[in-house]
Structure 1
Amino acid sequence: MPIRRIRHAGLTVIAVAAIAFAGLATPAAADILPPDVPESWKQEPRATEGIPSPLGSRAWTAPGGAATPGEFTLSPGAMNAETATRVTRLDSVLPKSGVQNLLTAANRTAVSSCVRDPFGTAPDPDIRYCLQNDDSISREWVPQGFTGVSDAQDDELWGSAGNIQLYASYDGWDPGRENDPNPATGDCTAAELEANDACNQKGVRITFLQNRVNPVTGVPEIKYRHVLLGWTYENSADHISFDGLHASEYPIQKGVHAGGIVWYGNYLYVADTRNGLRVFDMRTIMDLDPDGDPGTHDAMGADTDGVKTTANVEDKTKAGRHNNVWYSFGYRYVMPQVAAWKFKSTQSNPAGSYACVATGAPKASYVSLDRSTVPDRLLMGEYCRPAGDHPSTGRIASYPVADLEGRSADVPAEGWANYLPMTNGGGQGAAAYNGTLFVNESKGTDEPGNLWRYRWNNGALVQNGQAIKTARGAEDLYLDRGMGRLWSISEHRPGVAADCTANPDPLHPAGTDYCQRVPYAHKLSWLTAQP
């Protein structure tokens, strides 16, 4: 019998996991999703959706030309106060772990002395990290956004944690939905769930990487840990709970793309493509396995009902509170959303298309931080492919990032905006430093991507040098100022195209391919020296 994953085609349901679990064992009736989903259970942000206009080309200037910064204005999420209350309540039930503690408990290892090669004929980067095979070739988790401690702190230090990078991945595979005769229903059978936990819609996870010296052995190492992002809600039993991230415009799967992330101070900003920004707090990372032994099912706190709870990080089939047990799709750490910013303008970009309107709310395809300006600014840009009546190559603008901490009033973009100069569009990530704008352009799986350099000239973005070939599937950009490196990550995996041909790697023989994912960095000095 198929398990219904949504109740209303037009809504994003928060308690998805409770229903998905129902095919394996019936949860307590009080924890089942009610028939009529309350408005408060829909996730934030939710920008106003309009009808795409074929006349959007009227505001179009030219590649690199000026756009309208006012269209980028962000408004506080309508549920920010309620969300903060929920997180405080969740915080009273689940123990916390800071960034340094979760890195101390990092359970996965990357290596830099490896030959995985998504670069092909492109120049090798200054450094690359080869992830464990299940991350490098995962069909489920697709890497996107990138940030690090150089964004987080002006002095590039986070206590004693040292050099840290973060990347985001979205859950891009739901075999039950994709194989279902009616994909819109998002059904997984009990057998499918048991055979493959990918049937669960997990949303987004953040990976914390640390390049460090092992305090015991004195040997340099690269360790990392995945953290699930969560959305809090009250279920029908009035229990505080959480689920993975799902965007309002998609009732099932592939909602929050997490194409860009910025870590600034205590906050992590995650791009929500059609809506704006989601905000997370490094001080509210929850630890569901404090003793580090998954088999002990540690005691958690009590909610307002006073009932004692435990946690289970071995069961990957659900998230949130079920029958007084906390689950998290098997992840030890969960970081709940604390606030949101939504576009004030109406979102009229055509859904399901890479084309973009030239006016109205932009797409939040990627974000990055520029600390070379005063004040520090958060850049936001669009991934667009010109088509027909929509010639836009994608807009980019910026915000004073400190203004996003207030959450009580609109935050307009700074007084500039431009269309990207790339004639064919396709910007996957952008980063600015000392007047240069770097933009990653993916060319798919068949050839290396392009890293472009632009400068502003009389209000227009103009090309500065030739395109530099870089990784296939090049994604978001992050600038490590102290090390003088421009970081990114490749998104492709083996088996998705014939162009992903074999490229043996003796260190990781289980999955060898041009399209394996690697976090990587080019030296800024090398980039600026290129013709």
Structure 2
Amino acid sequence: MNHRGRHRRRRRGAALRGVLAGTALALTAAATLISASQAQVAENPGALKPLTSPADTGPLRLREHLVPGRTLDRLAAGMGRPVGVDAVLRGADHALREAGDCSSDDRASLPVAPAAARAYCWDPADTASGAWRPASVTTSGDAGDDGVWGTHRVVLAGWTHRTGTGRPAERGLARVAFVDADDPAHLAYRWVLLVVPAHGGRDYRPLASGISGMVWYANKLLVTTRAGSADALYVYDLDRIQRTTVDGPAIGRVPGGWSADGYRYVLPAVGSYRFASGRCAASGPPCPGALAVDRGTAPDSLVAAEWTAPGGDQHTRLWRYAFSTDPARAGLLATDAAGRANPVEAYRTRATGVRGVLSYRKAGADRPSWYVGRLPGSQDGHGGLWRQDTDGAQGARCGSDTSHRCWARDAGSLSYWQATGEVWSVSDRMLFALPLAGLDRSLG
């Protein structure tokens, strides 16, 4: 099937634009009081510093490693014909609830300013124990210009299992919630476990790594991996989702079929990107954290933020790679003859603890602005949201003490849905969206 033709064809936008109607949620209890002591935690990160020297840009170079086609074909032959996103959505077995039906604890995790226009809490079975945490979000608005995949509006949310909690079989796993967002009042989702082919496609293993960043572009899903991993990014093909056949605790091939700790679907990796100069380190390649798509560049680009400790001394690097324009490489990064992806732009910011990044150029502007959502230095409570460029930074303020700790609690990545004008993100308990125009107003 021609994926570029499918996800780029124009559709009537009335249903998409309609979701922006209405006023911001009345989240009275959610707008928690911000103390004066909290106000001093988040400092202005200042202007972005361009990084242009080879010493600065060289460590950002990636090398592409694709899984051999015969490996993927062998896995598919053993597990059965792969399925796509539609099949997963048809089996959605969990429901998201609108903010009014969520607990006060859930709503308290939402941004204080700017307020969310729409917000949803997850099935309580997925949040009650605290063993799993959402940290990343991407949408069919990232995947294609028209914002739909096939006939559906889709949100993907990446969750990571906290080490040291819950059942031993789950520890360190990564899963994705495939959310059917066709009806804004009734969102439903199904889990898919991320895995990596093993033994030449005769088996698979879990992706035992955190996924703080995630981007859906064309038919590919790119996710970050935990600091210290040899692979900076893993690549998944959303047309290669596989069904499991055994409902058991094991992950991989088992007597009688294929198991994934009770998950009905697994998504095997089709490739990865590694830093050419080695594993991430403070003085070398960055540990990638947040990811986003920028459709305002030519070609479209992948933007990334470095994972740094909140309140630490290590300033964060922000950079971008171009996506390939070769139809045979849909969703992959542009590479040279040696299979290397070079950064096309890079900056350093004084911000630390960045967990969300977005790059967007408004009409008439000569350059994009970079939006960063950051955790507080104490790693407790609400974080800050800033818009930066090479001239300076502006941050949202809230409360009588004009604190900058106004963003979501334990906020995750940012994703801009161009067809609707919305920015999507996650807190530690909720999925939410707000107009980019409203976000800009809150930033002055």
TM-score class, shorter = 0.7 to 0.9
Candidates 394, 398, 408, aligned match of 1:464:
394
Give the equivalent residue in structure 2 for 1:376.
300
Deviation of 1:385 (Å): 3.4
What is the CA–CA distance in structure 2 between the aligned matches of 1:325 and 1:346, rounded to whole Å?
37
Q: Secondary structure at the match of 1:312?
A: coil
> Residues 138 and 346 from structure 1, CA distance in 2 versus in 1: closer, same or farther, beyond 3 angstroms?
same
> Residues 405 and 448 from structure 1, CA distance in 2 versus in 1: closer, same or farther, beyond 3 angstroms?
closer
Give the equivalent residue in structure 2 for 1:474.
411
> Residues 463 and 110 from structure 1, CA distance in 2 versus in 1: closer, same or farther, beyond 3 angstroms?
same
Give the equivalent residue in structure 1 for 2:180.
210
Does 1:417 pair with 2:353?
no
Which consecutive unaligned segments of at least 5 residues does structure 2 have? 1-45, 326-331, 362-367, 398-403
What amino acid sits opposite 2:342 in the alignment?
Answer: P
Deviation string 1:346-390 (CA, Å, 9 cap, x unpaired) is: 3352xxxxxx33xx2111112111111211110111122388xx8
What amino acid sits opposite 1:278 in the alignment?
Answer: Y
What amino acid sits opposite 1:380 in the alignment?
Answer: A
Q: Secondary structure at the match of 2:112?
A: coil
Candidates 280, 290, 295, aligned match of 2:236:
280
What is the CA–CA distance in structure 1 between the aligned matches of 2:172 and 2:314, rounded to whole Å?
33
Deviation string 1:478-511 (CA, Å, 9 cap, x unpaired) is: 11112211111112xxxxxxxxxxxxxxxxxxxx
Contact 1:232 1:336 in 2 (8 A): yes
Contact 1:386 1:392 in 2 (8 A): no
What amino acid sits opposite 1:170 in the alignment?
Answer: T
Give the equivalent residue in structure 2 for 1:228.
193
Does 1:106 pair with 2:92?
yes
Tell which deviates more after alignment, 441-450 or 112-121: 112-121
Deviation of 1:446 (Å): 3.7
Contact 1:140 1:198 in 2 (8 A): no
Does 1:394 pair with 2:316?
yes
Identity fraction in percent: 25
Give the equivalent residue in structure 2 for 1:49.
none
Q: Secondary structure at the match of 2:339?
A: coil
Contact 2:110 2:427 in 1 (8 A): no
Contact 2:215 2:292 in 1 (8 A): yes
Deviation of 1:405 (Å): 4.8
Q: Secondary structure at the match of 2:73?
A: helix
What is the CA–CA distance in structure 2 between the aligned matches of 1:406 and 1:432, rounded to whole Å?
19
Deviation of 1:244 (Å): 0.6
Alignment of 1:480-499 (within 5 A): 480-491=417-428
Which consecutive unaligned segments of at least 5 residues does structure 1 have? 1-61, 176-195, 214-218, 247-255, 289-310, 350-355, 492-516
> Residues 381 and 239 from structure 1, CA distance in 2 versus in 1: closer, same or farther, beyond 3 angstroms?
closer
Deviation of 1:466 (Å): 4.3
Deviation string 1:18-45 (CA, Å, 9 cap, x unpaired) is: xxxxxxxxxxxxxxxxxxxxxxxxxxxx
Q: Secondary structure at the match of 2:92?
A: coil
> Residues 91 and 430 from structure 1, CA distance in 2 versus in 1: closer, same or farther, beyond 3 angstroms?
same
Question: Deviation above 4 Å: which 4+ runs of structure 1?
Answer: 405-408, 465-468
What is the CA–CA distance in structure 1 between the aligned matches of 2:310 and 2:373, rounded to whole Å?
17
Give the equivalent residue in structure 1 for 2:206.
244
Q: Secondary structure at the match of 1:150?
A: helix
Deviation of 1:98 (Å): 0.9
Deviation of 1:447 (Å): 2.8
Give the equivalent residue in structure 1 for 2:373.
440
Q: Secondary structure at the match of 1:221?
A: coil
Contact 2:321 2:333 in 1 (8 A): no
Does 1:429 pair with 2:356?
yes
What amino acid sits opposite 2:222 in the alignment?
Answer: Y
What is the CA–CA distance in structure 1 between the aligned matches of 2:87 and 2:430, rounded to whole Å?
25
What is the CA–CA distance in structure 2 between the aligned matches of 1:386 and 1:447, rounded to whole Å?
12
Contact 1:455 1:464 in 2 (8 A): no
Tell which deviates more after alignment, 434-443 or 119-128: 119-128
Q: Secondary structure at the match of 1:206?
A: strand
Give the equivalent residue in structure 1 for 2:290.
366
Contact 2:60 2:343 in 1 (8 A): yes
Deviation string 1:385-434 (CA, Å, 9 cap, x unpaired) is: 388xx8431101100022735676101000x3111232xx1111101111
Deviation string 1:185-211 (CA, Å, 9 cap, x unpaired) is: xxxxxxxxxxx6444446211111112
Q: Secondary structure at the match of 1:362?
A: coil
What amino acid sits opposite 2:263 in the alignment?
Answer: Y
Deviation of 1:454 (Å): 1.1
What is the CA–CA distance in structure 2 between the aligned matches of 1:322 and 1:174, rounded to whole Å?
26
Give the equivalent residue in structure 1 for 2:220.
267
Candidates 382, 385, 404, aligned match of 1:451:
385
**Matched residue pairs, number?**
364
Alignment of 1:401-412 (within 5 A): 401-402=323-324, 404-405=332-333, 409-412=339-342
Deviation of 1:259 (Å): 0.7
Contact 1:385 1:393 in 2 (8 A): no
Q: Secondary structure at the match of 1:488?
A: strand
Deviation of 1:475 (Å): 1.0
* Structure-2-length-normalised TM-score: 0.76
Give the equivalent residue in structure 1 for 2:440.
528
Give the equivalent residue in structure 1 for 2:329.
none
What amino acid sits opposite 2:432 in the alignment?
Answer: Y
What is the CA–CA distance in structure 1 between the aligned matches of 2:169 and 2:87, rounded to whole Å?
31
